[in-house]
Amino acid sequence: MHHPAPRHPRLDPLADRYAARTHGMKASEIRALFSVVSRPEVVSLAGGMPAVTALPLDAVGSMIGELVSGMGAQTLQYGSGQGDPRLRERICDVMALEGITDASPSEVVVTVGSQQGLDLVTRVFCDPGDVILAEGPSYVGALGVFQAAEARVRHVPMDDDGLIPEALEQTLLECRAAGDRVKFLYTVPNYHNPAGVTLSEPRRQAVMEIADRYDLLVIEDNPYGLLGFDREPMRALRARDDRRVIYLGSFSKTFSPGLRVGWVLAPLAVREKLVLATEAQVLCPPSLTQYAVARYLDTQPWREQIKHFVELYRERRDATLESLEALMPAGTTWTRPDGGFYVWLKLPSGLDAKLMQPRAVNAHVAYVPGIGFYADGAGREYMRLSYCYPEPDQIREGVRRLARVIEAELDLHSTFDRVDTGTFRAVSGPQGPSGRGVEGIVGPANSDRYEDLG
Ligand SMILES: Cc1ncc(COP(=O)(O)O)c(C=O)c1O
């Protein structure tokens, strides 16, 4: 039976016993949207769910069935903490596609998605108060892990070519001056989540030179690297340095996120600690799903399947960019991804994606407000749009609705500017006697205004 969580901490009899690290834990901006985006009338540009129905489901189904009926003694049994050796070999073949040709299966630890890899790496390296450098914005799931470890995140700005090396160096100098212990740089170099941008080749060089000069450890998180639309995979940072880079990989975007299979590639001494940490956490990664991935790689045309995914995502990216170009009001800007799942959109000056969200939901379109992708409260003027899941027609409709919400918001903004020279948020809106300001959930009085947007 489902018991709703107590709304007030005093009603929770265990309220004073929780560990300090739980105090900052909160549902991510994405999870908070789950109930909304699953409503059929809502076009969701929010979740980053891969298009798994594009897989050969019957073939995958029979493959998994055979793994149980024919090999149940292994596939339904506990396995090694480091992960199945056959799968670790195949993982090395996959990484070779990104120029990592020297990896040995003994340096690979299989994880429950790269999310567990992130958690393990953070556990192994970070004490409370340690500083982690991360792109601004950053993957929300990584921020959650860092926060749970009570690490402090310092964001390093990025632009259309990814992380800015000069800003990285500047931040390192500032940390050094402040006496902060920087444990590592966390970076998503390819088709960044949420920014959609890719670290350029010269910048890869520059980032690794800085890492060398400042003795910086780099965590390269690369779930999207094989999902480029127009080119061969970029050479991984790990391909340039096998001591200074720990690489996180995943089958979530190239095969299936539901199987929860990812990995960490790390130097042997680190690998040793990662295996101890994973054994303490889960004993071993699930056997069945590891065998499923290994068998899939052995028997199915997985490279062709990735090409098929790429075609599908390219079409959806095109639908997104074309509709944004055609429909967005002046002053709105966005990134132009050449792979992966995401567009990072900046609203016209003065608008706030978090405040606008209830109006967007009323207009039956969902996105993720940018604020969730920063550890420091920045990002209010940004939002993440995911094009991986909806069909192109839905995407066009979603962008059309979103454009109208932004236009209405701009109208509202200029109206307020005319009646009051104070800041937008300080003004109490025309909602009438409810007294709810524009920050509140859209109430009956002002919801009429958006009714035609659906
Ligand atoms: C940058 C990044 N890292 C890690 C993950 C987690 O993926 P996995 O399903 O492998 O745990 C995601 C998922 O969206 C991601 O975007």
CA 300 / ligand 1 centre spacing (Å)? 23
CA 421 / ligand 1 centre spacing (Å)? 44
Question: Whose CA is closest to atom 8 on ligand 1?
Answer: 113
CA 399 / ligand 1 centre spacing (Å)? 25
Which residues of the chain are modeled with pLDDT < 70? 1-10, 28-32, 34, 417-454
**How many C-beta atoms surround the C-beta of residue 121 within 10 A?**
29
Residue 436, pLDDT score: 30
Q: What is the C-alpha to C-alpha distance for residues 214 and 393, in angstroms, rounded to an integer? A: 49
Residue 252 near residue 280 (C-beta atoms within 8 A) = no
Three-state SS at 390: coil
Residue 438, pLDDT score: 26
Residue 414, pLDDT score: 82
Choose the residue to mutate in 193, 224, 227, 313 for probing ligand 1, maximizing ligand atoms within 8 Å of C-beta: 193
Choose the residue to mutate in 28, 114, 116, 247 for probing ligand 1, maximizing ligand atoms within 8 Å of C-beta: 114
Could you tell me which of 120, 198, 202 has the C-alpha nearest to residue 159?
198
The single-letter DSSP state of residue 452 is T
pLDDT digits (tens, 9 = 90+) for 165-222: 999 999 999 999 999 989 999 999 999 999 999 999 999 999 999 999 999 999 999 9
Q: Is 56 exposed, middle or buried (CB count within 10 Å of its CB: 0-12, 13-18, 19+)?
A: middle
CA 429 / ligand 1 centre spacing (Å)? 39
Name all contacts of 75-78 with Cβ < 8 Å and 24+ positions apart: 75/287, 75/288, 75/291, 76/287, 76/288, 77/287, 78/283, 78/284, 78/287
Outline which parts of the chain fall under CATH 3.90.1150.10. Answer: 23-48+306-453
Displacement of CA 254 from its chain's centroid (Å): 15
Q: What is the DSSP string of 257-281?
A: STT--EEEE--HHHHHHHHHHHHHH
Could you tell me which of 227, 293, 295, 231 has the C-alpha nearest to residue 263?
293
Q: What is the C-alpha to C-alpha distance for residues 204 and 26, in angstroms, rounded to an integer? A: 34
Residue 344, pLDDT score: 98
Q: Is the pTM of this model over 0.85?
A: yes
The single-letter DSSP state of residue 144 is H
Domain covering 23-48+306-453 in this structure, CATH number: 3.90.1150.10
Q: What is the C-alpha to C-alpha distance for residues 390 and 341, in angstroms, rounded to an integer? A: 11
Residue 237 near residue 221 (C-beta atoms within 8 A) = no
Instruction: Look up residue 160 and give its two tokens.
Output: 């259309």
Report the run of H or E that residue 383 belongs to, with start and end: strand 382-386
Q: What is the C-alpha to C-alpha distance for residues 139 and 221, in angstroms, rounded to an integer? A: 10
Residue 10, pLDDT score: 65
Three-state SS at 433: helix
Three-state SS at 376: coil
Residue 24, pLDDT score: 75
Residue entry with tokens 């632009």: 159
Instruction: Look up residue 121 and give its two tokens.
Output: 């790496």
CA 92 / ligand 1 centre spacing (Å)? 19
Displacement of CA 275 from its chain's centroid (Å): 25
Amino acid residing at 349: S
CA 199 / ligand 1 centre spacing (Å)? 18
Q: Phi/psi of residue 332, each to 5°?
A: -90, 135
Could you tell me which of 150, 250, 125 has the C-alpha nearest to residue 191?
250
Choose the residue to mutate in 119, 188, 221, 388 for probing ligand 1, maximizing ligand atoms within 8 Å of C-beta: 221
Q: Which residues contact 124 (CB under 8 A, 6 or more apart)?
A: 270, 273, 274, 277
Amino acid residing at 172: L
Residue 433, pLDDT score: 30
State yes or no: cis peptide before 194, omega within 30 of 0.
yes
Outline which parts of the chain fall under CATH 3.40.640.10. Answer: 56-300
Residue 327 near residue 399 (C-beta atoms within 8 A) = yes
Q: How far is CA 146 from CA 44, 122, 240, 354, in A?
A: 27, 7, 26, 23
Top CATH class of 56-300 equals alpha beta
Choose the residue to mutate in 49, 143, 250, 263 for probing ligand 1, maximizing ligand atoms within 8 Å of C-beta: 250
Amino acid residing at 152: R
Residue 407 near residue 329 (C-beta atoms within 8 A) = yes
Q: What is the DSSP string of 24-48?
A: T----HHHHTHHHHTSTTSEE----
Binding-site residues, ligand 1, Cβ < 6 A? 48, 113-115, 139, 141, 188, 193, 221, 223, 250, 252, 257, 262
Residue 445, pLDDT score: 29
Q: What is the C-alpha to C-alpha distance for residues 415 and 312, in angstroms, rounded to an integer? A: 42
CA 188 / ligand 1 centre spacing (Å)? 10
CA 454 / ligand 1 centre spacing (Å)? 32
Buried b (16+ CB within 10 A) or exposed e, 21-34: eeeeeeeebbeebe
Q: Is 157 exposed, middle or buried (CB count within 10 Å of its CB: 0-12, 13-18, 19+)?
A: middle
